[in-house]
Amino acid sequence: MTTTPPDRSSPTAPAARREANGRRFWLDALAAVSLANLLCYRTWGALAAGHGANAYWMKAEPKPLAFIALMANEILLGLLLLFLFRLARRVEHRPSGPGRFALRTMLGLAGYVTVAVLILNIYTMWFEQTSLARALGALNRFALILAEGLALVFPVAYWAGRKSLLRGALVLLTIVSPAVALVFAQSIFRVVTYDPNRLTDKPTASRLSVPVLAPHVLWVIFDEWDEDLTFAHRPAGLKLPEIDGLRRETFYSDTAGTPGYATGLSMPALTIGKRVSSVRPASPDELEITLAGGEGTVRWSIQPNVFSEARKLGFNTNVLSWSLPYCRVLNTSLTGCGWLSQAEAVDNDSLPEAMADQLRSLCETDFRSPFGQALLTREQAWLYHQLLDKSRGIVSQRQYNLTLLHLPVPHPPFFYNRVTGKDDYGATPIRSLLLSGGAGYVDALALVDRCIGELRRTMEAAGTWNDTTILLSADHPYRERRLLDGKPIVPYVPFIVKLAGQHQPLNCSAHFSALLTKDLLLAILKKEISTPEELNAWILPHKDAFPVD
């Protein structure tokens, strides 16, 4: 059967062409905004996390400005992608020549950037933070490089004229386009229902009247502080004068077993003095804890903890931390409380600024950026300095008998440069992409040393150093150890205790779990322990209370 070609001279031909062009335009527009939505999906995921039980991790809800910026960016990117789609259709109908070559090159480059950013977002959301990524170690970066290399498939296909692949991509984008309406609807809902007081910290307990000569204990947790890398296998060239000086005049153990390998699990375990196998946020102000050994599931807020037990003894308690909402969960056990979350460091003042930061984040992983330091790295530096300033104010006074300082170093991302003494680690654009994933941990250890020195000098100037008992430890060792030196994680955390008035060292050789911390702190508050020898004698009969990995 012979098909007769359409009569282009027919009066209906221009109308048919206009109708076909109109359909293609709207299909291109739908695919463009769908692709823009996928490109911004990681931003949406971060904003959506501040809702329901996941809000447990957040100090405050994302502000309406963040959702408005997200919608504006999707519209802006959608228009840009639509322009590129339409330009690509026009280029294909142009005669060959230098102009067509230049346009196809530009479109191929734009296609690569678009697909590369899409792959980067998928990698960051679903792979970079997983246990699989940590297990792969250095192969983690290779996987990203390989994935980004695959992004060349689309520009190469475009050059080779493989239109079927490109048409398939447009069809796929059209199929997933309803997600755009979902994101916009939820964003508008979050803007309309925004309540700045929804995640407000709860009132703390009343202040108790305490004798003037009552003990004062300072418990400092440096997040992800590794015992083995600090002492036994310290990287060459790393000097830690404050830590070494403190070790020479205090009680020290190099065999204190870690309570876990994640902050969200370790800190609840340390506060209640029990082994924990898993945790799950139940609401913004509650954490469900599954106890190890088949002991069942309990709520963190109602479990006896080191602070509630200290208050029963008649002492005032305080927490200053990052990451965990102590002030919502344990507020009834605390006389004072303050905490910061990562999201609080992101506080744009204008729509253009919020849009620019969101667009920039599309080109970054959590730890790497072609612009120098990633936004998350800058936020980590902000958190550290905010908490350090507040810590100085706390340790220079005697308001509380038991204080926990939970500080965000040497936890990645790394921002401190021990060579310059400034927060400019990885701040050089492009070059920062070539930095080893674990090398910054060495500089972060130097920052821990500097922080200890600053706290000590503050306390000495205020006259609180000698009469305060200080426990320095960690919630878990460095989990990306293999990225640094290829060696496995050593399951110990630093455990340094300076008792009030102590100036003589004592090294403990017994293996014990850091989960003893709760009972140890209470024993010190009850004045059952006042010398290094008494501390060592207390640990020996308790060392088998928990298994050490």
Take residue 269 and report the two structure tokens written for it: 């375990």
Q: Would you put residue 412 in left (φ > 0), alpha (ψ -120 to 50) or beta?
A: beta
487-521 residue pLDDT tens: 999 999 999 999 999 888 999 989 999 999 999 99
Shared domain check, 434 and 400:
yes
186 & 223 share domain:
no
How far, in Å, CA of 294 to CA of 277, rounded? 9
1, part of any domain: no
Of 192, 207, 241, the residue that ends a domain is 192
In angstroms, rounded to a whole number, what is the distance separating the alpha carbons of residues 46 and 32? 22
Tell whether 59 and 166 lie within a shared domain: yes
State which residues form the domain around 399.
218-542
Tokens 């984040």, located at residue: 361
Burial of 451 (0-12, 13-18, 19+ CB in 10 A): buried
Q: Is 205 within a domain?
A: no
102, two tokens: 């230049």
pLDDT at position 193 is: 93
**How far, in Å, CA of 522 to CA of 281, rounded?**
28
82 plus 222 within the same structural domain:
no
For the chain, give the mean pLDDT: 87
Place of tokens 């922080």: 451
In a domain, 2, yes or no: no
Distance CA 153, CA 145 (A): 14
One-letter amino acid at 189 equals F
Of residues 272 and 23, more confidently modeled: 272
- pLDDT for the residue numbered 337: 98
**Ramachandran sector of residue 296 (left: φ over 0; alpha: ψ -120 to 50; beta: rest):** left
Question: Is there a single domain that holds both residue 232 and residue 171?
Answer: no
Which contiguous run of DSSP H or E holds residue 282?
strand 276-283
Residue 289, pLDDT > 70, answer: yes
Q: Which of 68, 342, 325, 367 is nearest to 188 (CA)?
A: 68
Task: Provide the 10 A C-beta neighbour count for residue 139.
Answer: 11
Percent of the chain with pLDDT over 70: 86
Residues 402-455 pLDDT 10s:
999 999 999 999 999 999 999 999 998 887 777 766 889 999 999 999 999 999
List, for residues 299-326, the tens digit of each pLDDT value: 999 999 999 999 999 999 999 999 999 9
Within this chain, do residues 37 and 167 fall inside the same structural domain, yes or no?
yes
H/E element holding 217?
strand 216-222
Do 231 and 186 belong to one domain? no
Mean pLDDT of 328-348: 86
Residues 159-203: pLDDT tens digits? 566 666 677 778 888 888 999 999 999 999 999 999 988 899 999
User: Where are the alpha helices (H) located in 93-162, listed in sequence order?
Assistant: 98-126, 131-136, 139-150, 153-160
229 and 184 co-located in one domain:
no
Instruction: Please count the structural domains in the chain.
Output: 2
The answer to whether 375 touches 360, Cβ cutoff 8 Å, is yes
Domain annotation covers residue 318: yes
Residue 207 covered by a domain: no
CB within 8 Å of 294: residues ≥ 6 apart = none
In a domain, 21, yes or no: yes
Side-chain-facing half-sphere of 99: CA atoms under 13 Å: 7
Q: How far apart are CA 379 and CA 417, in angstroms?
A: 16
What is the distance of C-alpha 375 from the center of its chain? Answer: 11
Same domain, 512 and 380: yes
- Ramachandran area for residue 293 (φ above 0: left; ψ -120 to 50: alpha; else beta): left
Tokens of 190: 């979050």
| pLDDT of 132 | 47
Q: Which helix (H) or strand (E) holds 404?
A: strand 402-407
Within 10 angstroms of residue 402's Cβ, the number of other Cβ atoms is: 27
In a domain, 410, yes or no: yes
Q: What's the pLDDT at 160?
A: 60
Examine the domain organization and report whether 186 and 126 are in the same domain. yes
Confidence band, pLDDT 50/70/90 cuts, at residue 88: confident
User: Length of the chain in residues, anyone?
Assistant: 549
Domain CATH number, residue 337: 3.40.720.10
Judge whether residue 1 has pLDDT over 60.
no
**Does residue 283 form part of some domain?**
yes
32-41, 147-156, 197-206, 226-235, range with the lowest pLDDT: 147-156
